[in-house]
Structure 1
Amino acid sequence: MDVSESHIGRRIREVRTWRGLSQTTAAELAGITGPYLSMIERGVRPVTKRAVLEGIAQALRVSPAELTGKPYAPSDASSAVAHAAMAAVSDALSGWSVGEFPEVPDRPWQAVQADVDRLNLTLHPNADYSAQAELLPDLIAHLLSAVGTEHRTDALVGLLSAYRAAGSLARDLGVAGLPMLAVERMRQVAEQLDDPVWLAYAAYRRAQLLTGGNRTRQRQLAVAAADVPGARVEVKGMAHLAAALACAVESQADEALTHMAEAAALAELIESDVSSWMQMSFGRTNVGIWRVAIGVELGEGAKVAEIASGFTPGGVSRSRQAAFWIDYGRGLLAERKFQEQGLAGLLRAEKLAPQMVRNNVFVREAVGSLLSNARRNAGSRELRGLAWRVGISPNG
């Protein structure tokens, strides 16, 4: 896609015109200024925060996904594989409820468990979208079948992991409807396990995967998950982080910082720096990563460098490290004098989790804006290379 056609502003202008709204009216409804919306629509300013994207979407009465253009056309072979396999993932989620038993070829439980471990320890932590999409349909079917055997409990816990991965994958690739279907399947599994630990876990995942169109409800669900009796510390902590993000997007800074403080206090109860339970990676390091994300959403911009001063996102998965560098990079890109460092952050994230970076709307916005605003020879080779890899063709 040409850079002039890739920015969210073009789609905003199309939908606004279709709705019959003036720029002034749309901007007022979105809680931003008319000149700012004008610059967004012309591609002069990128959409850099969830609050802006979701505010404009609400003003235009569409989902944020309608404005982002997801799912994006594959920009490489891995992306093509991931998108092609999502139809089978959808069939696996919609075709069977928990308690129904698909007919599958006999397979030793040890082989099924090995695939669960591969998903949890390698593919999901590394944000390998294509490999996850190819693995999940068959894995879900075999785990559902195994629920009716002596491996029932292990199969149900394995299903929680598989449905979580499917929901996250669908969200990141922009497949509408599937994240909430995955959440419903997780709820069914938790009820089968009939344990407060798993009920709280499923409740947290519901809050986490709720679409960005309803942050108030996301905050409510996250707070409720943190308060479920019997919930593990990891679930309580991650639920507070989800609530903090929801508050930040709604510009409720004090509430966001309160939830961050709750999460930080809970992280101190984790004996190791990062908990390995259910691959949630909760702990002090993850709280530090979220501090940067919350700072970006609260409009701290390049001040995220101060928030992250002396902080190294080690000991967590590659995908969590990549999330840190994405937020760090787009925070720095808010100010022209830090653009070189901001681009370096995005490139560092891409090395860690390329498929994750290439499907991130804010990375695409940032790269497209940098490219559009660069003089003909000012766009660096690194910038142009990243633009090609995320599916944006440089002009000139």
Structure 2
Amino acid sequence: MGSVEIPIGERVRFYRTARNKKQAVVAGLAGISENYLSQIERGVRTPTIALLHQLARVLDVPVAVLIGEPSLEGDSVLHPVAGQLQRVLTTYDVPLDESPDLPALRARVESAWGLWQGSTNRFTEVSTLVPDLTRDVQGAVRALRSSTDASSRREAYRISADLYYLLRTFTKRVGRTDLSLMVADRAVTAAENADDPLRVAAAKWNLGQILLSQGEAEGAEDVAMRSIEELRREVPERHPDQAALEGALWLVAAIASGRRHDHWTARERIQGSATEAAGDAGEGNVFWTVFGPLNVGLHLVSVEMEAGEVAEALHIADQLDVNHSPSLERRMTFALEVARCYDQRQEDAAVILHLMNAEASGPEDLRYNTLARDLVRSLLKRARPTFQPQVRALARRVGLLD
């Protein structure tokens, strides 16, 4: 028995017919052929992120609606910890520890980040930690908010900001984009209260990420560009950490340009400003942004793919060694991007290979990634009989088939 969730293509067809729009009209406004739209609606092809944003604009619906990400979910939807985490984030009557152990809290946050970026079972492992960790960190901040110990108060805010960075990416990937936006905003406030310009830049990078995922490309671009100016003003001395955060913000601005179909500006920002920053920063993981020359290359692959330059995207991908990335998530995302490129060319053997590479880096990610699951659905419908055993086995592992 298959999954009950509705494929992206069926959602596109539903909203197109509900708005009484012909395929030819929607395809033309989205900049694709009518045949291509037909294949998307039938589940034969999977749209790129950029195309999903374009279709959402044409159909006048949020991107999250086409992807199938509800803004509010109960405890049993997508991940059982989502509802519990929401209650923790919105409850303020827990007993306060007047003398919180800040070094221990710091160690717990960094341990959770280590699992999130380095464990193949990151959803399972991190979900067991974040409710209590969030409760304890928020309690520490409230306990020290009026403390005369300025050093401890600032450290509590720094720990809080770092935790909210983690919660931003975790909640987004379990389908709670509403919580993701909430914690991204709280991270900005915490970093500002800590009077830490580098953390403020990291918080703005996190905010830009969630705005991009919600289809707010202009908002993300504005946040990134303003933050670059603020960072240069607050930290005028160029050093690796400053360069890494500035470069990460340039990548947000570049992706935002691509989402607005200004691919030339996206390329210029990556090949110019982001590449320069990567040269100054080197490979690193400042505030868990995983920024460096490799990450710049990964973003260029995404821009070329979303621009429709699949051959160029694959050419760039062939020159990247993602095994050097400290983040398993980035390795998984890269494999998924390459799989998407081959899906555009309907080279099913290559799609299967790279989906399996993605699964090796993040087996749980594929279960929570709607677009990855749609790639598998497309293969189920069109793959040749010789590939069906591998495709069906993969579909079972990601929860599409029993």
- Normalising to structure 2: TM-score of the pair? 0.86
Q: Distance in 2 between matches of 1:4 and 1:142?
A: 37
Q: Deviations over 1:313-372 (max 9, x none)?
A: 114211111111111222123223x43223211211111111222222332222111110
Amino acid at match of 1:132: V
Q: Deviations over 1:96-152 (max 9, x none)?
A: 5xxxx8425787444423311211222344471233233222212211222334533
Q: Distance in 2 between matches of 1:10 and 1:362?
A: 13
Aligned position for 2:107? 114
Amino acid at match of 2:90: S
Q: Deviations over 1:176-202 (max 9, x none)?
A: 311211122112102211232222222
Aligned position for 1:323? 333
Q: Distance in 1 between matches of 2:190 and 2:4?
A: 46
Amino acid at match of 2:157: L
Among candidates 81, 85, 103, match of residue 85 of structure 1:
81
Amino acid at match of 1:25: V
Aligned position for 1:2? 2
Name the CA shift for 1:82/1:391 in 2 (closer, same or farther; >3 Å).
closer
Among candidates 255, 261, 266, match of residue 277 of structure 2:
266
Q: Distance in 1 between matches of 2:5 and 2:109?
A: 40
1:241 aligns with 2:251: yes
Contact conserved, 2:67 with 2:371, CA < 8 A, in 1?
A: no
Shift of 1:71: 5.9
Contact conserved, 2:102 with 2:156, CA < 8 A, in 1?
A: no
Q: Deviations over 1:11-68 (max 9, x none)?
A: 1112222233333333344333333322222223322x11211111112221111111
The sequence identity of aligned pairs, in percent, is 28
1:12 aligns with 2:23: no
Aligned position for 1:195? 196
Contact conserved, 2:56 with 2:62, CA < 8 A, in 1?
A: yes
1:391 aligns with 2:384: no
Contact conserved, 1:343 with 1:383, CA < 8 A, in 2?
A: yes
Amino acid at match of 1:225: S
Name the CA shift for 1:303/1:385 in 2 (closer, same or farther; >3 Å).
farther
Q: Deviations over 1:210-251 (max 9, x none)?
A: 133221222222222222223522211011111111222222
Aligned position for 1:95? 91
Q: Distance in 2 between matches of 1:353 and 1:293?
A: 19
Amino acid at match of 2:358: A
The range that moved more, 125-134 or 295-304, is 125-134
Aligned position for 1:206? 207
Amino acid at match of 1:320: R
Shift of 1:312: 0.6
SS of equivalent to 1:282 = coil
Among candidates 290, 314, 319, match of residue 305 of structure 1:
314
Q: Distance in 1 between matches of 2:350 and 2:131?
A: 40
Among candidates 227, 230, 234, match of residue 234 of structure 2:
230
The range that moved more, 258-267 or 138-147, is 138-147
Matches within 5 A, 1:1-396: 2=2, 6-47=6-47, 49-70=48-69, 83-96=79-92, 102-103=94-95, 108-126=101-119, 128-147=122-141, 148-149=143-144, 151-210=152-211, 211-228=213-230, 229-230=233-234, 232-261=242-271, 262-270=273-281, 273-313=282-322, 314-336=324-346, 338-375=347-384, 377-393=385-401
Amino acid at match of 2:156: A
Q: CA RMSD in A?
A: 2.7
Amino acid at match of 2:392: R
Q: Distance in 1 between matches of 2:123 and 2:156?
A: 23
Contact conserved, 1:196 with 1:230, CA < 8 A, in 2?
A: yes
Q: Distance in 2 between matches of 1:357 and 1:227?
A: 37
Contact conserved, 2:30 with 2:54, CA < 8 A, in 1?
A: yes
Name the CA shift for 1:274/1:26 in 2 (closer, same or farther; >3 Å).
same
SS of equivalent to 1:160 = helix
Shift of 1:5: 7.1
Shift of 1:87: 0.9
Contact conserved, 2:117 with 2:326, CA < 8 A, in 1?
A: no
Name the CA shift for 1:391/1:303 in 2 (closer, same or farther; >3 Å).
farther
Shift of 1:309: 2.5
Aligned position for 2:238? none
Contact conserved, 1:285 with 1:316, CA < 8 A, in 2?
A: no
Q: Deviations over 1:363-383 (max 9, x none)?
A: 2222111110124x3334332
Amino acid at match of 1:165: L
The range that moved more, 176-185 or 209-218, is 209-218
Q: Distance in 1 between matches of 2:382 and 2:8?
A: 16
Amino acid at match of 2:391: L
Q: Give the ranges of 4+ consecutive aligned residues of structure 1 lying more than 6 Å apart after TM superposition.
A: 79-82
